Amino acid sequence: MNRLILSYCCELTDTGVEQIRQLELLSHLELRGLKNITGVGLAAIASGCKKLGYLDVKLCENIDDSGFWALAYFSKNLRQVQKITFIDGDLVASIGNMFDSCVVCFVWQINLCNCSVSDTALCMLMSNLSRVQDVDLVHLSRVTVEGFEFALRACCNRLKKLKLLAPLRFLLSSELLETLHARGCRIRWD
């Protein structure tokens, strides 16, 4: 089996998800909306499913940094993550060291919609994801306009698609928006 969709299976817990690690050939996994999954479950998947290339954990609100870092360490083929959740900016403390050698640098699409990421974490993430091209930065309540400016400047050379809230169109510098446009980035204003 190389594709598995378990989205919105509300009763599924870490114990159940740990069985997925036996699927060594799994390349596509959708776990959207699983509120009972934590970093422990994601770490188990990451350690066993080494061919994982696509992961959707959108609305999995209890996955913490430990799951994310296990994913970064074990998932050599990971190219697309639908959502990475940052719990109260805890990622800030270790993100710089981890990204020096981790695999997540190969992620080309990231959806951070509704994450509780801070200015610093967003900027570090965007500057260290060396292949990111498609970014969703909608509803980041802890990120200031300056945080968006710095983060987007850090990755503006490689962005092809960007999703932002419409009010930011008037708050971000015209220089940044012109640079993004000139480099071929399509911005969707929600």
Each residue's pLDDT tens digit in the chain (190 positions)? 889 999 999 999 999 999 998 998 888 888 888 889 988 998 898 888 877 777 777 777 777 667 766 766 676 555 555 444 333 333 333 333 333 334 444 457 777 777 666 788 788 778 766 777 888 899 888 899 999 999 999 988 999 999 999 999 999 999 999 999 999 999 999 9
Q: DSSP character for 36?
A: T
Distance CA 44, CA 76 (A): 15
Number of domains the chain is built from: 2
Distance CA 85, CA 63 (A): 7
Would you state the pLDDT for residue 44?
Answer: 92
Would you state the pLDDT for residue 91?
Answer: 36
Residue ranges making up the domain that contains 115 = 88-95+107-190
Would you state the pLDDT for residue 116?
Answer: 62
Is there a contact between 121 and 91 (Cβ–Cβ < 8 Å)?
Answer: yes
pTM: 0.59
Give the distance from CA 11 to its chain's centroid.
Answer: 24
Give me the numbers of helices (H) and strands (E) for the chain, helices first please: 7, 8
Would you state the pLDDT for residue 144?
Answer: 96
Check whether residue 1 and residue 81 sit in a common domain: yes
For residue 101, being part of any structural domain is answered with no
Would you state the pLDDT for residue 14?
Answer: 95
Would you state the pLDDT for residue 163?
Answer: 95
For residue 100, being part of any structural domain is answered with no
Check whether residue 140 and residue 60 sit in a common domain: no
Check whether residue 120 and residue 173 sit in a common domain: yes
For residue 50, being part of any structural domain is answered with yes
Is there a contact between 153 and 126 (Cβ–Cβ < 8 Å)?
Answer: no
Say which CATH number the domain at 182 has. 3.80.10.10
For residue 175, being part of any structural domain is answered with yes
For residue 159, being part of any structural domain is answered with yes
For residue 5, being part of any structural domain is answered with yes
Is there a contact between 27 and 4 (Cβ–Cβ < 8 Å)?
Answer: no
